[in-house]
């Protein structure tokens, strides 16, 4: 028997023929729901593939209990985007190796592929980082992501900034603005909304210029390298989406 971990890609039409075949032959099909807010209705998606989807939150995935089922039957875990983007997901592969559970990884596109649509050269991206939701009541406002952003800026690299699930667009802008001000960063950013879907949107500008734009989940930010260090074609691409 086998454990399959399959990437869903970025929209409901991204399933490959191989992934569909695996879903159809699996005794159980799980779907991970804690790393992203899906850009489509999962109930509708469930009907379209004709298979019951069992939702897993972070605790259920990290418990790895469902891997025990793969010792006796075909089990599939569906993950938005690329199947091994998160460290938690790769830990499942390590578990399979240690316990000699047969497994197969079925790849698909991730947000790292989709941001290529901005026009910034992919090989010039630096470290990826993420911004959590702040708790202003408890004055818990972690901004360690700024260290990565500043490092990338110093290295003349672009930054992909992922957003914590549940963090609204306006709140994320406020957090970025406060963090930029605190750390002396004054850069334009790109906000990317529903990349890889029919509702894909990209906007480039200063933080205060983006507030009026319609941005839907899931979304992320890209902080381009300093303007003087980027290629003329990258500059042209940014001009095309400038607000």
Per-residue model confidence (pLDDT) at position 44: 95
**pLDDT tens-digit map of 139-167:** 788 999 999 999 999 999 999 999 999 99
pLDDT bracket for residue 137 (50, 70, 90): low
d(CA 18, CA 15): 8
Locus of tokens 């028997």: 1
One-letter-per-residue 3-state SS of the chain: CCEEEEECECCCCCCCHHHHHHHHHCCEEEEECCCCCCCCCHHHHHHHHCCCEEEECHHHHHHCCHHHHCCCCCEEEEECECCCCCHHHHHHHHHHHHCCCCEEEECCCCHHHHHHHHCCCHHHECCCEEECCCECCCCECCCCHHHHHHHHHHCCCEEEEEECCCCCHHHHHHHHHHHHHHHCCCCCEEEEECCCCCCCEEEEECHHHHCCCCCCCCEEEEECCCHHHCCHHHHHHHHHCEC
- Judged against a pLDDT cut of 80, whether residue 136 lies above it is answered with no
Mean of pLDDT values over 106-121? 97
**pLDDT tens-digit map of 203-242:** 999 999 999 999 999 999 999 999 999 999 999 999 999 9
Domains of the chain: 3-109 (3.40.1010.10), 112-240 (3.30.950.10)
Mean of pLDDT values over 11-29? 96
Within 13 A of 85's CA, how many CA atoms are on the CB side? Answer: 25
Mean of pLDDT values over 94-118? 96
* Beta pairing class for 189-193 and 201-205: antiparallel
- 25-29, 58-62, 79-83, 205-209: lowest mean pLDDT where? 58-62
More confident residue, 66 or 78: 78
Per-residue model confidence (pLDDT) at position 61: 86
Per-residue model confidence (pLDDT) at position 65: 86
pTM of the entire structure?
0.93
């Amino acid at each position: 028997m086998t454990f399959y971990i399959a990437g869903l890609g970025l929209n409901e039409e991204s399933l490959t023929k191989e992934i569909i075949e695996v879903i159809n032959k699996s005794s159980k099909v799980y779907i991970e729901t804690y790393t992203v807010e899906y850009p489509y209705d999962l109930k509708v998606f469930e009907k379209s593939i004709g298979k019951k989807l069992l939702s897993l939150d972070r605790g259920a995935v990290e418990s790895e209990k469902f891997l025990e089922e793969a010792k006796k039957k075909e089990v599939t875990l569906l993950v938005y985007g690329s199947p091994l983007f998160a460290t938690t997901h790769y830990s499942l592969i390590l578990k399979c190796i240690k316990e000699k559970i047969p497994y197969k990884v079925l790849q698909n596109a991730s947000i790292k592929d989709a941001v290529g649509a901005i026009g910034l050269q992919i090989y010039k991206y630096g470290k990826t980082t993420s911004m959590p939701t702040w708790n202003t009541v408890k004055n818990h406002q972690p901004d360690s992501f700024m260290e990565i952003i500043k490092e990338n800026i110093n290295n003349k690299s672009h930054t992909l900034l992922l957003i914590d699930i549940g963090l609204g667009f306006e709140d994320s802008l406020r957090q970025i603005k406060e963090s930029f001000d605190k750390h002396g960063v004054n850069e334009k950013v790109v906000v990317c909304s529903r990349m890889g879907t029919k509702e894909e949107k990209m906007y480039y500008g200063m933080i205060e210029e983006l507030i009026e734009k319609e941005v839907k989940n899931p979304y992320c930010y890209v902080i381009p390298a300093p303007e003087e260090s980027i290629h003329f074609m990258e500059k042209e691409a940014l001009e095309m989406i400038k607000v």
